[in-house]
Amino acid sequence: MGYRIAIVGATGNVGRELLNILDERNFPADDVIALASARSVGKEVSFGEKTILKVHDLEKFDFKGIDIVLSSPGAKVSAVHSPRAAKAGAVVIDNTSQFRMDPDVPLVVPEVNAHAIAGWTKKGIIANPNCSTMQMVVALKPLHDAAVIKRVVVSTYQSTSGAGKEAMDELFGQTKAIYVNDPIEAKRFTKQIAFNVIPHIDVFMDDGSTKEEWKMVAETKKILDPRIKVTATCVRVPVFIGHSEAVNLELERPLDETEARAILGKAPGVVVVDRREDGGYITPVETAGDDGVYVSRIRTDPTVENGLNLWIVSDNLRKGAALNAVQIAEAMIKGQHLKAAA
């Protein structure tokens, strides 16, 4: 028997990617239901090459009989409907920020802390981390196991797709406007994004950090190790898909760049592209549509004891969101946490 799956937020960037990945990975689904807000009811979304799904109204949907809910509608909507789905007996894998720091909800990246999945029974919900946190911890986990990470300094270069389709449209529209000398309109972003970078993602907090930066700190501690010190600067850049990160590590034990390269080369989910020559590194354009977390520019930092620098890039819509959610569901099935309804 296969599983009955509901995709919440099916018309969004991540929702569409969830449908693509379920099909690509031949997920054992007997039934897939697309859910979104009332304004999207009746729209069509693709599931594979042959199947077209009609979008149903999330507000009116009865989750009884649904095995797995893959949810990416925004935090406020998830706060209402993820608990409702869990109460109806579904396992909810939630891609919003709503439940990530709830102590009764596991925050899971299968390559890093698959053991935490077992905690889903407390509330029936598993949280997907923030996209920028997710790709970073996949690369950090094997290095932490080998030499224990004391401190992380990370600067992100995050694509517009992380802010949704309207943000991508704004980048496209502004770029076109510049070339034809039209006025530049900033709606989704606080400043012009075309040919610019914006050091501001999410809201500002009292200490001067943005919430995106706080997420990277808090989520890394919850997923990887609460003892790790993390400081982040998160920046939006004029890229459509793919988040990049410059990461500086301070380790407890010596680990030279050759050892680090070898360790990362064997790590699950990691792809090392690190040649010291023109083009011997990865960029966001090359990761779009790919599942891997790519690591380049691996080198010793001589300014700090046991220091290491990394360049990490990944498709934020895939591993940073949709793929990770599907991998959690696959891990639950493999670990027999989840059985299909008869």
Cβ contacts of 60 within 8 Å, gap of 6 or more: none
Cβ contacts of 247 within 8 Å, gap of 6 or more: 136, 139, 140, 152, 153, 154, 309, 310, 311, 312
**Residue 81 annotated to the active site:** no
Name the phi and psi angles at 127, rounded to 5.
-100, 140
Taking only Cα atoms into account, the Rg of the chain, rounded to an integer number of angstroms, comes to 20
Burial class (CB in 10 A: 0-12, 13-18, 19+), 6: buried
Both tokens of 197, joined, read 């970078």
DSSP state for residue 283 in the 8-state scheme? -
Looking at 56, 81, 131, 144, which residue is catalytic?
Answer: 131
Looking at 81, 144, 234, 243, which residue is catalytic?
Answer: 243
Angle between helices 131-147 and 211-223 (to 10 degrees): 40
Amino acid, single-letter form, for residue 15? G
**Residue 243 annotated to the active site:** yes
Q: What are the residue numbers of the active site?
A: 131, 243
